[in-house]
Structure 1
């Protein structure tokens, strides 16, 4: 049986999501949504791999940005993990990982332009914060016994290198490989802000109604993700890392004067830059908060809570697709394919596709967030049920699902869900770039209007909101004694 606090918390979040539906903009505004959806699936079924001249170059650059960004992020993250116990380091890492890769890209675009450094840093900086947190947790959980067996007087660095690292190496390697997959998704969506990765050509194909071209790009991306174990081999990684920078492409030379001006003038609040007084600064901030920040925060929170509960519902519906306790091998294989596609497609790309088919509203964002995150959690919970042994006289069908399996995996399910809460919040904010009125919409509008001071304040608010949700999620997991999240 489930504990009362767990059930109460679940129904509380369900009630909040239902209340959010009453005020959310959930509508399909296109005239022929099902016809458009049919044309899209027809395009996926009849892909055109040779119409776009730069498609394979874009795929290569997607891989290159991912390798360089993840490599740089993992190195910096490992160094930060060594001093992660210090509060300023933890705060710094929480801040940089709370800002989405696309927000970082939008910042760097303002002074680096379409230079490869923009894409590399947009991936490396938030990933460094993520790596620092996870690496530090892995290192803290290392078995202390091997270090005690070292000769007396062994230097601390030697003890760390020969005792702790070997004990943690498998976890460090597994998690880094997982982040590489995430890096490929991050690299792909950088094309939506103009960098020459897969998202750039995907957006162009959709805007021109060329669904067969878009289908080809999506299929290539799925194949790229699915075959990672085949082409990412430990012995080949050094060659990939060395070669990747040479495939990033070339951009215009960096004008360092633009970099200086951005940090010394552009992001300084307008009243301060103009030498105005405190009253003008207060009015500027009030206008920003009332007309942009508060509406953005409201819509971001509402959309996040709806997407969180939708993710949970979809996860509970999806895990039987791959569970050994239901159906046969054909159905489980089909379920695996569905969940691989769902979790491999970045939320941003899913939301972009659905927006083209259904029109601008919160509905495409909710469905995109639920499909991606539900695919991830459903996959993890389904794998967990495969380790459970049932009695020979265990019920079958729906009774097996509701009375045998769900109660036994529900705490793990909630742990995964609350862990993904902050990630859903990050993605919700960035989906505003697509025209949904979350914080990303106001950030993008401010940048388009060359009001970088307002954009930076809004990005700072987004980061603080994400940090708050992350802290609240950890608090709830601790209060409910939910299982500690695994590292992969």
Structure 2
């Protein structure tokens, strides 16, 4: 009994600390509202949402095909790489590389590769493949570590590590691996779509264009198509058909122009480093880094952290409020409607939510916080709803609101915190890229540096973003252990 009480107090104090941290962030975050007529614009968006229309089906199908192609091929390539690196996860260098590559958002990878490969298939594939390899490496290593060690003891010790894993731990973890890869494919579809915001010919490119031009019926057609795509994954993503899909995906990719190796070498060895460093002037190099840090990196890093903390806490509030609507045990026959709402919330990328909210509230941090909280709250709410339906039932269980407040929520709360802390690093990465839409986070200065052809500054700011994500990931991992809910994860 004392252990249960201490665990409850621990979770309570942890939740209270995060709530206080969000309240402390409020006065310093850029949450200004700008003069506008949001209700009129919201009415136009709502009308477009219920009257979707697209007059060029071929363009729509091409964008859909390329969105799927980038996601599918990137996942198919990153899964085996993740398995191999997960087997070697006991090496510190592998852990550091995996942490570094997954800490940089796909859009930042895309902006980097676009300077070398242009708006090509290579850019889109690498932008998703590289961070996803880091994610798969970490998650697969955790899955392997949780498997029973006894089958491995029956394998001769002289066998190589890969052989032992191939016959013992990998087969044991296969079910969990398959489930997680399917989930990550859904995430890859969202990543592929938002790469259109930097010019790649996926659904996001046409969506951004439609919203900017006020063609909300066209934007709605794209969104509805994307929702249907996500909702029907379990029907069309059959293992036997994946080889066929992969061959078709190769032909759907946009053409990649030939690229001289000298240009790649020039970019890696000269373009991304300040001239003072290349000239060996260490004093001028230190001054350059100090100036960029004080003028751009630190202010935008602070704003990114403030918005992340607000979005994290609001995500938790939304998840706790919406999850019962997706659980048959809590709402009964109304479950399909609740599941539909959760599908829209979790399937719509944060960038798309933010784009709409920026039209309504102006270019401040408020749209970013709301967009991040709505998407991640829907995702965590969907996962909690699934766990809610798996709870054992007794004839004397309370009903209605009492069942939600006194039975299911207390049971799910440790896992809920684990889900939330797993999403912390993701919310931080998404907060950073909100700068591409004009919010004063790290992404704003990174995008501006690329536009000014200041690759050295952009690369330094991306390194700052990566270091910040690695730090937050380390803190979130410790907090999951403190909450006693490490096994609830795998949501990276």
Specify which of 268, 286, 290 is matched with residue 286 of structure 1.
Answer: 290
Specify which of 169, 173, 180 is matched with residue 185 of structure 2.
Answer: 180
Q: Give me the TM-score of the superposition, normalised by structure 1.
A: 0.95
Aligned match of 1:220: 225
Matched, 1:411 2:414: yes
Q: Give the Cα separation in 1 of the matches to 2:211 and 2:432.
A: 23
Aligned match of 1:319: 323
Aligned match of 1:360: 363
Matched, 1:465 2:471: no
- Between 82-91 and 49-58, report the one with greater CA deviation: 49-58
Q: Give the Cα separation in 1 of the matches to 2:163 and 2:135.
A: 26
Structure 2 contact 36–360 (Cα < 8 Å) conserved: no
- Between 474-483 and 412-421, report the one with greater CA deviation: 474-483
Q: Which runs of 5+ in 2 are unaligned?
A: none
Structure 2 contact 151–168 (Cα < 8 Å) conserved: yes
How do residues 267-278 of structure 1 correspond to structure 2 at under 5 angstroms? 267-273=272-278, 275=279, 277-278=281-282
Matched, 1:241 2:280: no
RMSD: 1.9
- Aligned-pair CA distance for 1:152: 9.4
- The verdict on how the C-alpha distance between 1:237 and 1:113 changes in structure 2, with shifts beyond 3 A counting, is same
- Between 349-358 and 287-296, report the one with greater CA deviation: 349-358
Q: Give the Cα separation in 2 of the matches to 1:71 and 1:415.
A: 28
How do residues 34-73 of structure 1 correspond to structure 2 at under 5 angstroms? 34-51=39-56, 53-73=58-78
Q: Give the Cα separation in 2 of the matches to 1:201 and 1:157.
A: 45
Matched, 1:28 2:23: no
Q: Give the Cα separation in 1 of the matches to 2:232 and 2:369.
A: 29
Q: Give the Cα separation in 1 of the matches to 2:444 and 2:156.
A: 59
Specify which of 204, 207, 210 is matched with residue 205 of structure 1.
Answer: 210
Matched, 1:439 2:442: yes
How do residues 300-449 of structure 1 correspond to structure 2 at under 5 angstroms? 300-329=304-333, 331-449=334-452
Specify which of 130, 135, 147 is matched with residue 135 of structure 2.
Answer: 130
Q: Give the Cα separation in 2 of the matches to 1:384 and 1:193.
A: 37
Structure 1 contact 422–470 (Cα < 8 Å) conserved: yes
Q: Which runs of 5+ in 1 are unaligned?
A: none
- Aligned-pair CA distance for 1:442: 0.9
- Aligned-pair CA distance for 1:396: 3.4
Q: How many residues align structurally?
A: 486
Aligned match of 2:147: 142
- The verdict on how the C-alpha distance between 1:30 and 1:234 changes in structure 2, with shifts beyond 3 A counting, is farther
Structure 2 contact 436–447 (Cα < 8 Å) conserved: yes
Deviation digits for residues 216-238 of structure 1 (CA, Å, limit 9, x no counterpart): 00001111111111111011011
- Between 182-191 and 132-141, report the one with greater CA deviation: 132-141
Structure 1 contact 421–470 (Cα < 8 Å) conserved: yes
Specify which of 17, 25, 32 is matched with residue 22 of structure 2.
Answer: 17
- The verdict on how the C-alpha distance between 1:349 and 1:154 changes in structure 2, with shifts beyond 3 A counting, is same
- Between 172-181 and 299-308, report the one with greater CA deviation: 172-181
Structure 2 contact 152–164 (Cα < 8 Å) conserved: yes
